[in-house]
Structure 1
């Protein structure tokens, strides 16, 4: 006597059960929107043409304290080859410059928030009026390069 369900029927039954379990999990234990956005942002960084800009200066680690200044802005310097990005992080947002001076489109990447684009002028200067509130990175698109900075905590 042969078996009623062949290999194809067993695979189909397994696929149906898997889909039912997937739907039940989506209803009973959905992925939080913030986590999903973070995963999408991380995937967006997966660009094989991007160069990683290394953090070469962080005032939290490298600067000497100045007497009388209670809450100095955080100063960061990133370098990728010949391109340097200087950034000042304040409670009001970011101020920075791309060197050598050039136009660039800069995205401020954050955890659960969407990327916030800003534009550097022909002198390389840019500002963002939204301060980073958690982990953040910068993605720069110049005429010649795509550069992504290291992720830092604000």
Structure 2
């Protein structure tokens, strides 16, 4: 048995004894498939989950607010949790067209209305980001956030 055959047998044994969870594989594929090296990153400016870490939250308070900012675009997100799914409402300043929500290996495209709003309901929970196109044509992507 040569080294390559031994490695193949070890890989098969490891895959059978302790397989990589499906969610991990989907998110890894999504991260690689959706990378855009030319996109401008909108940094996280505010996360109500972090701001409220030391505060007492009301019972049943299932709303989270996130703000992302770049030199060209700002994206405000309101996240609501219901029945294990996510409703995402966004307000975009400095961009038009569509918002592309990437979560758990899926892409959901929603139009940005004339007032800058978009809504996506029934999204799975998971690491999420939003991609928009600025008025000058630059692609702007929020950082990944666990929702």
Check if 1:153 corresponds to 2:146.
yes
* 2:77 match: 87
Tell me whether 1:18 sits opposite 2:7 in the alignment.
yes
- Structure 1 counterpart of 2:23: 34
Give the drift of 1:142: 5.6
The whole-number CA distance in structure 1 between the counterparts of 2:25 and 2:59 is: 40
Deviation at residue 22 of structure 1 after TM alignment: 2.1
| Structure 1 unaligned regions, length at least 5 | 1-11
Equivalent-residue separation in structure 1 for 2:30 and 2:77 (angstroms): 21
The structure having more radius of gyration, on CA atoms, is 1
Residues of 2 paired with 1:104 and 1:136: CA distance? Answer: 16
* Residue of structure 1 aligned with 2:90, choices 87, 96, 100: 96
2:131 corresponds to which of 121, 136, 139: 139
Summarize deviations over 1:63-98 as a string: whole Å, max 9, x none. xx9xx9973732222112211111111235011122
For 2:48, the equivalent position in structure 1 comes to 59
TM-score, normalized by length of structure 2? 0.71
CA distance in 2, matches of 1:142, 1:130: 26
1:46 to 32, 35, 41: 35
Q: For residue 2 of structure 2, give the secondary structure of its aligned residue in structure 1.
A: helix
CA contact (8 A) 1:89 1:131 kept: no
TM-score, reference length from structure 1: 0.69
